[in-house]
Chains A and B, each alone.
Chain A
Amino acid sequence: MHPQTSLSPIDRPPLSAFQEFQAGLLGVAPLLIGVIPFGMIYGALALSQGLSPAAALAMSSILFAGSAQFLFCQLFGAGAPALVTVAEVSLLNLRHALYSAALAPHIAQLPRRWKLALAYLLTDEAYATIARREASGEACGPYRHWFYLGAGLGLWGSWQLSTALGVLLGARLPTDWPLDFALPLTFIAIVVPLIRNRTMLAVAAVSGIAALLLAGLSFKLGLLVAALAGMAVGWRLAGSAA
């Protein structure tokens, strides 16, 4: 056996399914610092907006999308029409189509049950973990879908548990702790690295300014219009540059 000081990813023996799963869990772990307080606040918010504990918990597994669940509760509390709620939740979750497109080629060969499971588990945090792994160049093993599953399930479990804790503690959560600030901070951490050119900066500026100007609209419709305005500007700028 000859000594090897540095192993390139190709020389290294491939990780087993279990090792990949573990690596996925470890990869998503740092993001849980933002997810767990967020889940607890969601649980408490859901009850304060008039949802039953059962509905609050069920939403965490049926919808499984933190920001959309927040929005849902706020709209429910404000008595928004069902159509408005579905439209806004859909638009807010439309970004997951982008993650779906990025993940699709990597899992094209997997059986359908894997595709369904990984699609269900596809969130901002799971995608961020997977994208980081792909960029590291260590993602070429035959069992890498177990990494995706580990990251997805790690997040899923933490979300269900923290939501349940929020529902359980409910009003007993200290209101002077600004835990809800975890939401904007997480989104800042996701959005800022995406702003790599003038077009993206213009999209952010238009969406942000429009959201401020339209903040007075009922049922947060300003969010819907502002996001569409930002997308339209990006589309226009990218189209004219191409």
Chain B
Amino acid sequence: MSVWWLIVLCGVVTFAIRLSFIAAEGKVTFPPGFRRLLTFVPVATLTALVIPDLLMPQGTWWLAWDNARLIAGLAAVAIAATTRSVLWTLAGGFVVLGVWS
């Protein structure tokens, strides 16, 4: 398959996901369990994406104090929990990464 078809296919699926509930509003009722399952999707997918970035930045385990990404990531978790601000989390995370490495 050419890369162009692959891009278009991924784009169509993504657009369909984004349109799903907007288009179905008032026309289709989803089973309540489906909505419940969806509430876990952001935490499940994004955590699975981020955790290896912090603990295996080079592809192998790096659980040590000199792993600046791990320390900056932990700091970002603390900042996000207290401020709930994307801006402060980014700023704080980058500052800790810069200072630590």
Contact = CB atoms under 8 A, between A and B. Distances in A.
Interface string A180-195: 0111111111111111
A230 interface: yes
B38 A181 contact: no
A34 interface: yes
Bin chain B's interface residue count.
35 or more
Nearest to B84: A193
Nearest to A120: B15
B13 A188 contact: no
A116 interface: yes
B48 A185 contact: no
Contacts of B55: 212
A1 interface: no
A101 B21 CA distance: 5
A46 to B, nearest CB: 10
A104 B19 CA distance: 9
B50 A187 contact: yes
B18 A188 contact: no
B43 A203 contact: yes
A213 B18 CA distance: 31
Interface stretch (A3-11, A61-69, A165-173): A61-69
Residue in B7, B15, B22, B25 with the greatest tally of chain A CB atoms within 10 Å:
B22
Interface string A102-138: 0111011000000110111010010010000000000
A128 B19 CA distance: 17
The binding surface of chain B is classed by DSSP as helix
A55 B9 contact: no
Contacts of A206: 44
A128 B54 CA distance: 24
B47 A82 contact: no
The residue among B25, B46, B54, B91 with the most chain A CB atoms within 10 A of its own CB is B46
Given A34-B90, A55-B3, A208-B48, A98 B18 contact: no
Interface residues of A, number: 85
Contact of B39 (A31, A76, A98): A98
B99 interface: no
A210 interface: yes
A140 interface: no
B65 interface: no
Contact of B46 (A89, A125, A187): A187
Contact of B41 (A98, A115, A187): A98
A238 B41 CA distance: 14
Contacts of B93: 181, 185, 188
Interface of A: 30-31, 33-34, 51, 55, 58-59, 62-65, 67-68, 72, 76, 82, 85-86, 89-101, 103-105, 107-108, 115-116, 118-120, 122, 125, 128, 178, 181-195, 199-200, 203-204, 206-212, 215, 222-223, 226-231, 234-235, 238-239
The 8 closest A-B pairs by CB, nearest first: A230-B44, A234-B40, A62-B11, A192-B80, A208-B51, A189-B89, A226-B48, A101-B21
28 contacts: A30-B86, A30-B87, A33-B87, A62-B7, A63-B10, A90-B17, A96-B18, A98-B38, A104-B21, A115-B19, A119-B18, A122-B18, A178-B94, A186-B86, A188-B77, A189-B76, A190-B46, A194-B43, A200-B40, A204-B47, A207-B47, A211-B51, A212-B56, A223-B48, A227-B48, A231-B40, A235-B37, A239-B36
